[in-house]
């Protein structure tokens, strides 16, 4: 399994996606925060899609299902898929 390094500016997009998910979870528990929760959820999806789009542009040779390792800041193809 070959790993591909991900630049910090692209990793930042995944971090923003994760942060937006945490915000969504907190807003859901607060009264009258439906719109904020919805905004955080849509932001999370947007950052997540942008992250994977940038990865595909950076490494067009990667095909199939990919996985991101946040500890190493690397991307690799999933085995068996």
Model confidence pLDDT, tens digit, residues 32-72: 999 999 999 999 999 999 999 999 999 999 888 999 999 99
- Return the ∠ at Cα 61 (arms to 57 and 67), rounded to 5°: 75
Instruction: Give the pLDDT of residue 2.
Output: 87
Which residues have C-beta within 8 Å of that of residue 2, sequence separation ≥ 6? 76, 77
Convert the pLDDT of each residue in 9-37 to its tens digit. 999 999 999 999 999 999 999 999 999 99
């Amino acid at each position: 399994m070959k790993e591909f390094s991900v630049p910090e500016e692209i990793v930042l997009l995944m971090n923003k996606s994760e942060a937006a998910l945490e915000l969504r979870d907190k807003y859901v528990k607060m009264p009258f925060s439906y719109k904020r929760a919805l905004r955080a959820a849509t932001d999370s999806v947007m950052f997540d899609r942008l992250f994977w789009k940038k990865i595909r542009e950076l490494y067009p040779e990667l095909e199939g299902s990919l996985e991101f390792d946040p500890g190493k800041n690397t991307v690799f193809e999933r085995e068996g898929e």
